Structure 1
């Protein structure tokens, strides 16, 4: 499966930053090589803008990269420059691209069921709540896109998915009792997949390592060991990919798993919530 241009641009930025730091070249020197401002180098390395192939070649020469590695990087740069036609914000394309490519996904959510686990009715309800004026046809398009994304969980190459849900996510009645009951039943169904682990953080656990902060860690197969943490907002998202920061979020996720109910206890808690909706 070909990677999306957005994911390739994020990958290219990480590789160019790694090579620059490995060569001991400052951002000022890289900017001087391209005759641009330092802010452009920062945006390139953050995967926030495309870069001409000639500029990539100039940076690779400055960093002393050999011919074989240079050709690999240029291949990534060519993919990153492909045009996309999706009518969704850039940050959403980046998120969906990472989700489609990740070998491993770890997600913590506070009061929302993650998109990969949502039923169509639940997706419709939260979409309409976010924008009651949204065209119904657009709502259905978004529902269809989410359904396509979910298909990967039962594909030939599914990601390893770990989800920790705050109890608020199963207690908030989205779309009415019938919609929420169906959603909770879906959680139990998906949790039975061998590649999915679902844990519930009960209210009784009290404070925990990620109070007020939902996040997702995507671990990518290419480059090996590459990972990105995504912090979502209403109209944008922050992408964190420095190894020290990614490592910190991974440690927090492990602590959340340790504080949450185990998978069997989580299933029982969800079953109890379903019973209370009847």
Structure 2
């Protein structure tokens, strides 16, 4: 069973609030509908029930039929498959999180972040994967990353704050002309109103960011907590515990404080 999407989790929370307003336990709400407590619990964390069960819950929670349309629309949206499913990607991992996020903060030490890469750069990165990719898989990865980049320019617009270590800008991943194209692309992206780009200069010396990459995603829904995503050599870790996410936010702030401001960061990239 795949992880519930953000719209499904939102709908589950809404059903939970409706139940609680009536002072019902999960058992009391579900028993007349032949729904077990475990099924009610799954529904309220975002695992969608069959359509007729959903309608039965609306009726159980005294929602008048004339008001059902907005709930049915929310249900249909929660059932929609993300575009990434067409590329063979499930609901696990960071991509579905990014697709629903309104703000993403990313720190990259070794590479330029994916949403800011040119196609030539991403091809070199994918070609250097620890497990070599077959040509068809590589093309699929490139197509997915290019699609992800649309969030920077197409509604719903993503607010994106990227911090890059100068080391990543100087790595000779590309030839001279392609490298210059990548740096120009960074400057163009940095001038978008929804993009903030900072560079940690080499003269900062040793700092905790040298141990790995970090992403923090935030959402418009105030009840949807921030999610942190930490990448390492063997994969990545998806972090939701508030204490750990708070530590990730503090780490990102520390990296931002060490980095050049936006104007000086762009000036550094222009010199390179």
TM superposition score normalised by structure 1: 0.69
Greater Cα offset, 51-60 or 100-109: 51-60
Indicate the residue corresponding to 1:193 in structure 2: 192
Indicate the residue corresponding to 2:229 in structure 1: 231
- Per the alignment, do residues 131 and 210 of structure 1 end up closer, same or farther by CA in structure 2, a change over 3 Å counting? closer
Indicate the residue corresponding to 2:89 in structure 1: 89
- CA distance in structure 2 between the aligned counterparts of 1:26 and 1:201, rounded to whole angstroms: 52
1:259 aligns with 2:248: no
- Per the alignment, do residues 108 and 96 of structure 1 end up closer, same or farther by CA in structure 2, a change over 3 Å counting? same
Secondary structure class of the residue paired with 2:193: coil
1:78 aligns with 2:76: yes
Greater Cα offset, 168-177 or 109-118: 168-177
Secondary structure class of the residue paired with 1:151: helix
Contact 1:164 1:256 in 2 (8 A): yes
Indicate the residue corresponding to 2:126 in structure 1: 127
Specify every segment of 5 or more residues in structure 2 that has no aligned partner in the other structure, as ranges: none
CA deviation vs aligned residue, 1:212-256 (integer Å, no higher than 9, x gap): 451131323xx35645424155556526386x7666644543343
Greater Cα offset, 257-266 or 7-16: 7-16
CA deviation vs aligned residue, 1:112-164 (integer Å, no higher than 9, x gap): 32221011011111112226642323322332332233234233653222112
How many Å apart are 1:74 and its aligned residue?
4.6
How many Å apart are 1:198 and its aligned residue?
0.3
Secondary structure class of the residue paired with 1:214: strand
- CA distance in structure 2 between the aligned counterparts of 1:18 and 1:206, rounded to whole angstroms: 48
- Per the alignment, do residues 109 and 209 of structure 1 end up closer, same or farther by CA in structure 2, a change over 3 Å counting? closer
Specify every segment of 5 or more residues in structure 1 that has no aligned partner in the other structure, as ranges: none
Contact 2:104 2:160 in 1 (8 A): yes
- CA distance in structure 2 between the aligned counterparts of 1:134 and 1:214, rounded to whole angstroms: 24
- CA distance in structure 2 between the aligned counterparts of 1:173 and 1:25, rounded to whole angstroms: 62
Contact 2:213 2:230 in 1 (8 A): no
Taking only aligned residues, the RMSD between alpha carbons, in angstroms, comes to 4.2
- Per the alignment, do residues 80 and 133 of structure 1 end up closer, same or farther by CA in structure 2, a change over 3 Å counting? same
Aligned length: 261
- CA distance in structure 2 between the aligned counterparts of 1:228 and 1:107, rounded to whole angstroms: 13
- CA distance in structure 2 between the aligned counterparts of 1:124 and 1:238, rounded to whole angstroms: 25
Contact 1:111 1:167 in 2 (8 A): no
CA deviation vs aligned residue, 1:152-202 (integer Å, no higher than 9, x gap): 423365322211223343243334555444323321221122221101223
- Per the alignment, do residues 169 and 227 of structure 1 end up closer, same or farther by CA in structure 2, a change over 3 Å counting? farther
Structure whose alpha-carbon radius of gyration is higher: 2
- CA distance in structure 1 between the aligned counterparts of 2:211 and 2:43, rounded to whole angstroms: 30
Contact 2:104 2:215 in 1 (8 A): no
- Per the alignment, do residues 88 and 20 of structure 1 end up closer, same or farther by CA in structure 2, a change over 3 Å counting? farther
- Per the alignment, do residues 73 and 238 of structure 1 end up closer, same or farther by CA in structure 2, a change over 3 Å counting? farther
